Amino acid sequence: MNVIDVHGLVKRYGDNTVVDQVSMTVKQGEISGFLGPNGSGKTTTIRLMCGLLTPNAGGGTVLGMDLKRDQLKIKREVGYMTQKFSFYEDMSIWENLMFVARLYQLHPAERAVRDTLENLGLSARQHQLAGNLSGGWKQRLALAACIMHKPKLLLLDEPTAAVDPLARREFWGEIHALAADGVTVLVSTHYMDEAELCNRINYISYGKLLTSGTVADVIANANLTTFVIKGDDASQVARLLAGKPGVDQVAPFGNTLHVVGRDTKALKESVNDAIAGRKLTAHVGETSLEDVFIQFVTHAENDAA
């Protein structure tokens, strides 16, 4: 069953098309990653899906409800975590969650708040002011508010931005636990290691959805070849390779150099020419999701220009 099933979504602001013919499906219980550079249309697309915005064209269903006709119903049935912390900083965790519980008309509100605090390990901090929380605890409060009304779909907009690695790992533990209980998650992120934790990923750039699939599928369909150059002088050949036939990316990694391109034959010739006469070796390596991400960004920027 598809919890999200949208097609041809378009959102314009004046002459600016922010979302351009986006079609996407997300299955029940799936964690679906939403990737793309800043300004690519991720947030606008998420807001279209949760009923906060009305598309100029296209449509579909979210949780079986019509995207245009049932916006109010959709709002009540999804949990939406905004990119920016949006709770009252001069109120405690308990007070913020009580406010949310009353908005959703949960009865009894006190029990809903108490259970949520306990489930997310917030009970000991419930009287702490939200404004005094660290980034990780603010994130946990925001997630608590999203799941208190037991939504079947979570829409999370870059939820782990500006939090430390431990908080990120704990957050993703919570997300996978929710998915194991049948909750469907669409999460936007800039972190490649987070994208690899998703069942499927969707990549958007300049409002257009460029690819969808598992991480392995997206990497394979990009048709990129990666050569790894090793040796003490590896970084010195980076300038020699830039702009050479078949070379789309050159990136240093410690004492190695990753050279990426779509034309394998031309790429190999350029790499061999660059290392000739040097104490360097080159072999075909594994193309990473980050390589694919950078390739998409670069080409989208060139197309836009």
DSSP string, 251-299: EEETTEEEEEES-HHHHHHHHHHHHTTSS-EEEEEPPPHHHHHHHHHHH
Angle between helices 109-119 and 135-147 (to 10 degrees): 130
SS (H, E, C) 20-70: EEEEEEEECCCEEEEECCCCCCHHHHHHHHCCCCCCCEEEEEECCEECCCC
Residue 55 contacts residue 68 (beta carbons within 8 Å): yes
We find that the CATH architecture of domain 223-286 is: 2-Layer Sandwich (3.30)
Q: What is the pLDDT of residue 236?
A: 80
Q: What is the pLDDT of residue 135?
A: 86
Q: What is the pLDDT of residue 300?
A: 64
Q: What whole-number distance in Å separates Cα of residue 173 and Cα of residue 177?
A: 6
What does the pLDDT look like over 139-164, one tens digit per residue?
999 999 999 999 999 999 999 887 88
Residue 74 contacts residue 37 (beta carbons within 8 Å): no
Q: What is the pLDDT of residue 124?
A: 92
Residue type, 291: D
Q: What is the pLDDT of residue 233?
A: 77
Q: What is the pLDDT of residue 85?
A: 82
Q: What is the pLDDT of residue 130?
A: 93
Q: What is the pLDDT of residue 53?
A: 94
Q: Where are the domains of the chain?
A: 2-214, 223-286
Entry pTM: 0.89
**List of the chain residues with pLDDT < 50:** none
Q: What is the pLDDT of residue 297?
A: 81
Q: What is the pLDDT of residue 305?
A: 53
Does 3.20.20.60 match the CATH number of domain 2-214?
A: no
Q: What is the pLDDT of residue 172?
A: 93
